[in-house]
Amino acid sequence: MTTTQTDTMSARSKDRETNSHSAMDDLKRDTAAVREDLSVLKDDAVKATSHAAEHATSTVKEYHSNVCETIRKNPTTSVLVAAGIGVIVGKIISKF
């Protein structure tokens, strides 16, 4: 093998090594960017879930308050409705 061929092979080897390092650096940067994106998405999901839970809780409390107020205003009607529902559910259950 001649010196020129050896030099050419050495240069190619160095080019491959440089390209390999460059590819690894690119991969590391891309991996870090994906991790950052996932972290942001996770934080956004936690905030959205928390907001939805707070909204659901306040809605349920509001409905509960309205039902309690209706029962206080109309106790006889509320008892009769509850009894009627109990009879209907009892008949449905007894058929099974």
CA gap 82, 79 in Å, rounded:
5
**pLDDT value of residue 8:** 61
CA gap 63, 69 in Å, rounded:
10
Exposure of 31 in the CB half-sphere (CA atoms within 13 A): 6
Q: Where residue 18 falls among pLDDT bands split at 50, 70, 90?
A: confident
Residues 64, 67, 71, CA angle at the centre, nearest 5°?
140
Tens of pLDDT, residue by residue over 47-72, are 999 999 999 999 999 999 999 999 99
Q: Sketch the domain layout of the chain as residue ranges.
A: 3-95
Quickly list DSSP for 30-56. Answer: HHHHHHHHHHHHHHHHHHHHHHHHHHH
Give me the amino acid identity at 44.
Answer: D
